[in-house]
Structures are given as C-alpha cells and as structure tokens.
Amino acid sequence: PDQRVDEPEPPLLVLVHTLVWVAATAGAETLNRTETRIAAVVPALVVFGAALVLGVDGPGSNIAVAGVLFTVVAALALLRDGRSPAWSLAGVPAAAVLAALAVLAGPLLPVAAQPYNPRDDADLPPPGRVDGVSPLDRVSAWLQIPDRELFTVEADRPLNWRLAVLDRYDGVRWTSSARFRPTGGTVPEGEWQGAADVVHQKVTLDGLPGTWLPAAERPERVTGVRGLGVDPGSGVLLAAAEPAEGFTYEVTSRVPKPSKEDLLAATPVRDPALTDFPDGPQERLFRRLAQQATQGADAPIEQAYRLQSHLRTNASYDVTAPPGHSLKGLEFFLRTTHRGTSEQFASAFALMARTLGLPSRVVVGFRPGEESGGVYRVRSGHVIAWAEIKFAGLGWRPFYPTPGRSGAKDDHEVVSSAIEESEELEGEFARGGSERPKTSPPRTTAETQGGASPWTMAAAAAAALLVAYGAAVAVLPWWRRRRRRRAEAPGQRVLGAWRQACDDLGLRGGQTLTAADVVARHPGDISAHLQPLAEISNFVRYAPDAVTDEAATAA
C-alpha cells in the first residue's frame, strides 16, 4: 500500500531546516576555530540522532546511513591528525574489526530489541467526538427509500461496508464511546494478529450524509482524506467535515481469517462496560429469553451461535416495522410482533448476549451493493445492522441475527457465508462435545508497566552528563599533555610541546600560521620565551627526521 502521508504540513519543515542550518554553522565554526579532530561532527551527529528519535517509521534501514556517517567521521579524524600517515593507516584494521563487531553484535543487545520510543510518553491531541444523528437511527428511514444512491466502492471482493460502531446503551439509544484521533492515514492494528486477507477499496461518496466514512472490516491504511480521524479501539473512520458529493478516498483493510480451531476455543473478554445492561424490568425478560435460546450450549461462542439462530428462525424481517430500539420497543418486538428490521434484530441480540456475560456492540453498515465491472453501487436499501462479540485474541467477531427477506436463509452473499460457517461450527460442537479441538492461549501483547518516570530518567541523564563533563575537564588536559610528552618520535614531542604551550597561553592560529608568525603576533614577554621553541618547531616541520632527542628534551 501507499505509504505517503496524504496532506504534508509545511510548518513541520521549519524544524528540519533549522536543525540542519544550526548544525552546519556550528560544525564549520568548530572546524575553523579549534584543533580538535572530531568535535566538528558533533552537531551533525545530534541532527542524525534527532531524526532517528523524532522521525516516523518507514521502509528501509538506517544502517547504511550510519555506516557512511561513521566513515566520514573517521576520514575527518585521520585528515586532522598531526601524526604521520603510516601511523594512522596502522589503525585501520582495528577500526574495521570494531565496526564489524558493532554491526554483528548490535542487534543482539537486549536494548536493541525494544528501543525507547519517546512517542510512548507524548501527549496525544485531544480526541474528537461525533455529534449528530446516529446511523442506527437512520436505518428505518433509509429502508423506506431504498433506491437512494449513497456511495460506490471499487473493491477486490464483496464485503460489508461498516460505517459506525455503537457500544453504549442507555435504555433508549445505542451510542458510541469512540474517541477519534487525527492521523495521517495509518490506522492502529486490531487485536487479531493472525491470518487475514488484504482488501483494497476506492470509495466515492454520492449522497451519504454525515461525517462517517464507510470501509471494509478494520482499515489499516487510508489515503485521500484531509483531517482524517480514527478511533483506535474500533478502527472507525471520521472526516473532519461532511464530505462533498463525489469525494473519493482509498482504503486498505485486513479481513481476519481465524481457523476453525480458533473459533471453537474462543473465550470472551471481561469488560464490564461491554456487558452493562440498563436498569429496568426488561432485563429479566431478556435474560430469560437468552437462556432459553442457548439452552444446552456450554461454550460462549456456541451460545452466540444459538442466540443468532434463535432470532433468525423465530422472527421475521419487515421494513415496515416501527423504528426505534428502546427497551420498551424491543420488548414489544420480542413479546408481540416478532417482526422488525436489522435495527431491532441487532439491538435485541446485543442486549440478550450481555445478559449471558458476552461483551457485545452494534455495528451499522451496508451490504456490498449491486456489482458491475468490479464496482459496487450502494444504495440506502442496502443498509444493515449487525452485532459483534469480543473474544480474547480474536477481537470482535460479527453475528447476523437478521433473517433474509424470504425467511431464515439470507439473500446476501456475505451474511449467507457467515451463517453457513456458524451452522458448521454448531455442528462441530454437537458432534465433538468435550473432544472439540483446542488451541493455544490467545496471543496478547505484554506491555511492561511501571519503571522510572521520564522526569527521573531526564534528571539522571543530566547528572550523568555533568559528571562526565567534569571528568573530561579534569582528565583530558592531563592525558593530552602526557601523550604529547611521551610520543615515540622526537619531532612529535617537539610539536606536542609547541601545541601545549599555545594551549596553555591561549594562543590561536597554531594550525594555520607558522610558529614565527604566532610569536610575531604576541610581542612582549611571551615572544621572548616562545622564540626558542618556535625555532625548533619550525625546524621540525621542514626536517622532522633531523631532530635529535636533545632538541626534543629542550622543547
């Protein structure tokens, strides 16, 4: 899929240009004003580190870039080293061995597996909420005018196009607890991490009201939407404003394909918010009917299949049924009429499932629509509501309690396939009993909690830097003086004495001027004392092999 960020934000480039400009200036000034070998590359290393920390993930690797950066730093250190080329080249094999060890052993370090990600501690933008008419409240109205054009989808295969997910019920209406966060197009992964089909869609809106954006299953990538919002929990998409007619965007979705063994061993998650039932006398009725429908079913998913089958075979689909999904209206549907639209069937299923301890929600979407040349034309009459139950490791699994127009069997390909699968699994339960296949425990992502806070870590890092700086200030001058005095060649000891004298006296120009020029620029007592050393230093620069140990000792 396309990995581009659809809507680039020019203000973000200011930081990049500023960092590069500051690093280039600092590096150039350091190179010209100091004699250090690699201090000039520190600003560039800081920019490289900032890019690694603040940049987004993407294809490819930074190993090649890091290797080139290491090579450039090494070349700069060799060029600015005052020792002979032969001495510098002698260290190349050792540097090569160290580089190879770093490349091979680096990925094996414990900290390399899960590096610290500052995004984990970043505050996200405030989530958005959806205000307006719920899609579930529109179901009955859409069914009354079934030929109204809503949108078209170019897709690889027919699927249900989900529009909204509703997981809270107050006894009158289903609403959504979704918190939409802005995204450049990437949708967080769902709980299911197993086998899945990847489906590409190109959606063109043509009269669909509201800001909800239809897509198949759980999207993983969306392009073409400015100000896109996504609910991380459900994967539902939301536009910043109601799109105009003809608005087009593209979606890549993952359609889970759990195995039969995964489904047979499924266990529901424990979430009180998803099993909450409003206070009222209807709860006893819903529980009694749910227990009757699932009598003899031990496994939770078998209870869900039995409940789905019960509603499909004991009630009828009727587009002229009164709209609404309040507890009073659903009680009338279950006790008296036994006729309704998918609004009543999905709502009744979800509430009955909650009385059995099954975490449930209602989803509003559309059937695939009429296909022509790979394009599915979706009209208002294709609207459908279904229920979903959340299982550990599997995530949300759909259930279709609404029967087809002609009876218990459905006239819709996607729903028919789901019903056939559920009937097959019900047969497995009936035949296998306690010998049904088992699977390994569902995979979960273990997140380590606790540990030191970011502020504590920052304070510890600052203290460590101060200690390191103090140690460097105390040790480096001593080490540099000692190295210069113990150089093997007499000429190197002379040049070391000259650099040490310039450093101690704060004299500049030691690298770009001759020793005589340096002395001439500092008249007075300094020049009188430096003149003998300057003469020996000049001699060494032009005839290093003729320098004696006595001259080095005098220097």
**pLDDT tens-place string over residues 66-87:** 778 777 877 777 676 666 666 5
Are 370 and 376 a contacting pair, CB within 8 Å?
yes
410/276 Cα distance (integer angstroms): 30
How many structural domains compose the chain?
3
Does residue 4 sit within a domain? Answer: no
Give the closest residue to 46 by CA, choosing from 28, 73, 68, 19.
19
Give the closest residue to 196 by CA, choosing from 386, 394, 391.
394
At 116-131, the pLDDT tens digits run: 666 666 665 665 566 5
Does residue 450 sit within a domain? Answer: no
- Are residues 317 and 428 part of one domain? yes
Amino acid letter, 211: T
| Residues β-bridged to residue 161 | 216, 366
Amino acid letter, 150: L
Are 291 and 354 a contacting pair, CB within 8 Å?
no
Does residue 1 sit within a domain? Answer: no
Residue in the block written with tokens 């870590």: 457
Give the closest residue to 392 by CA, choosing from 455, 319, 442.
442
Does residue 452 sit within a domain? Answer: no
Q: Hey, CA dihedral for 59, 63, 69, 75, is it positive or negative?
A: negative
Mode of pairing for the β-strands spanning 395-399 and 383-391: antiparallel
First to last CA, the chain: 69
Does residue 178 sit within a domain? Answer: yes
pLDDT exceeds 60 at position 411? no
At 256-282, the pLDDT tens digits run: 999 888 888 899 999 999 999 999 899
- Which residue, 386, 401, 435, sits at the end of a domain? 435
Are 391 and 230 a contacting pair, CB within 8 Å?
no
245/396 Cα distance (integer angstroms): 32
pLDDT exceeds 70 at position 356? yes
- Are residues 189 and 335 part of one domain? yes
At 457-513, the pLDDT tens digits run: 667 777 887 887 777 767 766 666 666 666 666 767 777 776 777 766 666 555 556
What is the CB neighbour count within 10 angstroms for residue 237? 26
- Are residues 281 and 179 part of one domain? yes
Does residue 444 sit within a domain? Answer: no
- Are residues 272 and 162 part of one domain? yes
At 31-61, the pLDDT tens digits run: 777 767 677 888 888 888 888 777 666 666 7
Tokens of 498: 């000259």
- Are residues 473 and 387 part of one domain? no
Distance, C-alpha 94 to centroid of its chain? 40
Does residue 380 sit within a domain? Answer: yes
pLDDT exceeds 70 at position 158? yes
β strands within 129-238, DSSP E:
149-155, 161-166, 168-169, 174-175, 181-182, 196-205, 212-213, 215-216, 218-223, 229-230, 237-238
Amino acid letter, 170: D
Mode of pairing for the β-strands spanning 316-317 and 339-340: parallel
- Are residues 517 and 419 part of one domain? no
- Are residues 361 and 276 part of one domain? yes
- Are residues 491 and 349 part of one domain? no
550/451 Cα distance (integer angstroms): 62
555/549 Cα distance (integer angstroms): 10
- Maximum alpha-carbon separation in the chain: 117
Does residue 440 sit within a domain? Answer: no
- Are residues 98 and 43 part of one domain? yes
pLDDT exceeds 80 at position 108? no
Confidence (pTM): 0.62
Q: Which residues does 101 contact at the CB level (< 8 Å), separation at least 6?
A: none
- Are residues 401 and 269 part of one domain? yes
- Are residues 500 and 478 part of one domain? yes
258/394 Cα distance (integer angstroms): 8
Least confident of 42-51, 151-160, 395-404: 42-51
81/88 Cα distance (integer angstroms): 8
Range of the domain at 46: 12-121
Q: Percent of the chain, pLDDT > 90?
A: 41
154/339 Cα distance (integer angstroms): 34
367/471 Cα distance (integer angstroms): 71
Q: Which residue has the higher pLDDT, 448 or 173?
A: 173
